Structure 1
């Protein structure tokens, strides 16, 4: 209707014109009353009074219409109220948000590990001509996750936390296990989550739940503190339990991570680790450094890279040789390696993205270490590992995601198998379907 389209300036002009007309009507009444005969004066005065009364009624109607117009305009401009879903609460008043996914993984193995799970085991693939496993279909739903985020208040601070589980625990990777279980208060974190040293932030995206060479998916029990120097820079220090089964542990590992954001599209992370390795009464110090970077070259195109140099440890970075072994004379011998992973992810549109990646690990040759490690099996010590992969992910709607990936890699052992072979092959096609809730 035209009434609902009136603006505030138009309404003001109408009111002013009405007032001017009223004033002029009053002046006309006074003038005519002085110049007309008494017999006609009463009639004209009465007529003018009626006109003034009608004008007043018109003004009152205009006021009502103005109020209705303002209400209509406000109703159009005011956003509709947003319905907020209720948050579940515990008896103690903590707010809970539940989440999770159902995940189905499948793999067609051209060549590779004899394990039944469709996940990466590049460091253990058989050497050529030695009980190789080919043309096998593997599948599992063990990576399905359930989680809950919680929040409550203590004094004037929020206490937040997370509990998340999947079914990749146990010797056969088919038992319920804890992925994350921690709480945060102010700048502190206590519990189990991603290691402060071996972070997954800079790994190129993969379908494989255990990642590829050069990456790490390590979660540790830890106490962590974050110091924020600026909005772009912070230092994270942590004491971590790496759960290294090859040693008798008496002290936690000390880790440090310095994060910096150079621009909105460029992040880097420098990391360091130190850990005492103790076998019986003998000790050696393991240490490592890492450097990661993430750079969005143009909108939708992201480059990731991560590098590690580690001596004497195999508990943080995946697929490494044993960090420390005991020689026949009682000496503790340590491995040392470098690893790198790099990849490019392209977001083609809101539903489709893809990644190409490459990972490489190389181990220093120490013949005493090799002899001690391979006393029973000469093929267990790896000299080099590498893998290359390409994948696509398609999300037709927000909760659903489907992925397809091809990976090829090789391992080269320090010692040869009885048939002289030193090289093993990993050749697979992976697929995944995920429903997030």
Structure 2
């Protein structure tokens, strides 16, 4: 391209002197009365010069057009790259609130259905194994229930500051009274500290086998509490979590928060472990008692597609952390605490990833209360307190596309009460088929 431009430039320098000579000498030739042949020759040369000039102009225009095309071709990828970079930066920054906090939206639309062959209250779809009617006593049989109340909406927040990021979460569903909106999680984080409501530090759901039932089954715990929590990393594999929690125990007049501690350790990529402890004051108008508990949980990846989970609790005097227990303590007419409930519970389950779209879980849970005569004799209604509970379940999930999950589950369980119903029955039965469809966003 540069060679062509140079050649055209040299031609231009040669042509311009010829034209100038013709212009200067024309009068001289006229006065000299040149011959007709010479005039004709001169005309021909002028004609040739015009043709050469026309060709030169066309070549110059062609070169200019090529230069424009080269410039556009060179700049276009640069402009495209700049546009892509701008879009990427905007996307990475995320949406922002009026005050400048970055936030992201998540949640699901969830439809649950349950066919109940035998079970509990008609007003409640989810697990109620501890209170299902004793056989022959106002059982709810052959019932179909459905709800979208477990539909969930959440927001995660983050605000960068000179002292580090301040984070937060707000998550709600519709499992409140009469399908009303209720808070699941609402907290802020700063460094190693958390303030607000989230999963209890003692009753964590991490080691519960997967269920379709939104509350899980006996042996596990689904508990969210207001709390002040501190996390300290001992190493990359181990941390300690300490918390002061409001356990929301309606049977106790809380004066002091429950204190909980948790040690988490990851042995390797296949095995993780958690040890937990809890202590809480139980208070009436006339008396106080100390409740306590311990918990152990483990998760083991048997293969890259097979996961084993198990969780164990031993608790004395408390009914607020672990689900489906008897009341933590009983009192006399003077509000003196005369006896406490003590129990053990365990759950274990195996989840198998059958394919990219299919997975399934087999699980079992069991809870047993101590046979404390003082506690049992002080109960106003012994049919509402249980010697033991158990449930077994099997489920399968199918995800035709990533955001959608469809699940089907069968669960059977029993409770054995301390007291017998008028017909002599001490056993209640939970026999259900559950189904769910979720769109996660």
TM-score range, shorter chain: 0.7 to 0.9
Q: What is the CA distance between 1:330 and its match in structure 2? A: 4.5
Q: Which range moves more in the overlay, 421-430 or 86-95?
A: 86-95
The answer to whether residue 408 in structure 2 is matched with residue 401 in structure 1 is: no
| Structure-1 separation of matches of 2:336 and 2:424 | 30
Q: What is the CA distance between 1:372 and its match in structure 2? A: 2.1
SS in 2 for 1:368: helix
| Structure-2 separation of matches of 1:309 and 1:81 | 57
Q: 1:436 aligns with which of 422, 437, 440?
A: 440
| Structure-2 separation of matches of 1:130 and 1:393 | 35
Equivalence for 1:219 = 224
Mark the runs of 5 or more structure 1 residues left unpaired by the alignment. Answer: 1-70
TM-score, normalised by the number of residues in structure 2: 0.79
1:369-411, Cα deviation, whole Å (9 max, x unpaired): 12222x2x33011000000000001111111000000000000
Q: 2:383 aligns with which of 379, 385, 391?
A: 379
Determine if contact 1:117/1:139 at 8 Å carries over to the other structure. no
User: Which structure has greater helix proportion?
Assistant: 2
Q: 2:167 aligns with which of 160, 178, 194?
A: 160
Matches within 5 A, 1:129-140: 129-140=136-147
| Structure-2 separation of matches of 1:330 and 1:348 | 55
The answer to whether residue 93 in structure 2 is matched with residue 89 in structure 1 is: no
Determine if contact 1:380/1:413 at 8 Å carries over to the other structure. yes
Equivalence for 2:130 = 123
Q: 2:299 aligns with which of 282, 294, 302?
A: 294
SS in 1 for 2:263: strand
1:301-337, Cα deviation, whole Å (9 max, x unpaired): 0000000000000000000000012124653121000
| Structure-2 separation of matches of 1:183 and 1:396 | 36
Equivalence for 1:196 = 201
Matches within 5 A, 1:30-429: 84=88, 85=91, 87-170=94-177, 172=178, 174-328=179-333, 330-332=335-337, 333-373=339-379, 375=380, 377-429=381-433
Equivalence for 2:44 = none
Equivalence for 1:58 = none
Determine if contact 2:122/2:140 at 8 Å carries over to the other structure. no
Determine if contact 1:351/1:395 at 8 Å carries over to the other structure. yes
Q: What is the CA distance between 1:134 and its match in structure 2? A: 0.6
| Structure-1 separation of matches of 2:277 and 2:121 | 35
| Structure-1 separation of matches of 2:226 and 2:122 | 28
| Structure-2 separation of matches of 1:91 and 1:286 | 46
Mark the runs of 5 or more structure 2 residues left unpaired by the alignment. Answer: 1-73
Determine if contact 2:285/2:335 at 8 Å carries over to the other structure. no
SS in 2 for 1:134: coil
SS in 2 for 1:249: coil
Determine if contact 1:117/1:140 at 8 Å carries over to the other structure. no
| Structure-1 separation of matches of 2:165 and 2:334 | 55
| Structure-1 separation of matches of 2:364 and 2:235 | 34
| Structure-2 separation of matches of 1:425 and 1:167 | 28
| Structure-2 separation of matches of 1:404 and 1:81 | 44
1:89-144, Cα deviation, whole Å (9 max, x unpaired): 11211001011111000000000002323200000000011111110000100000
Q: What is the CA distance between 1:261 and its match in structure 2? A: 0.3
Larger radius of gyration: 2
User: Which structure has greater strand proportion?
Assistant: 1
| Structure-1 separation of matches of 2:335 and 2:173 | 40
Determine if contact 2:286/2:335 at 8 Å carries over to the other structure. no
| Structure-1 separation of matches of 2:255 and 2:283 | 8
Q: What is the CA distance between 1:248 and its match in structure 2? A: 0.6
1:271-317, Cα deviation, whole Å (9 max, x unpaired): 00000000113000000000000000111100000000000000000
Determine if contact 2:284/2:336 at 8 Å carries over to the other structure. no
| Structure-1 separation of matches of 2:285 and 2:427 | 35
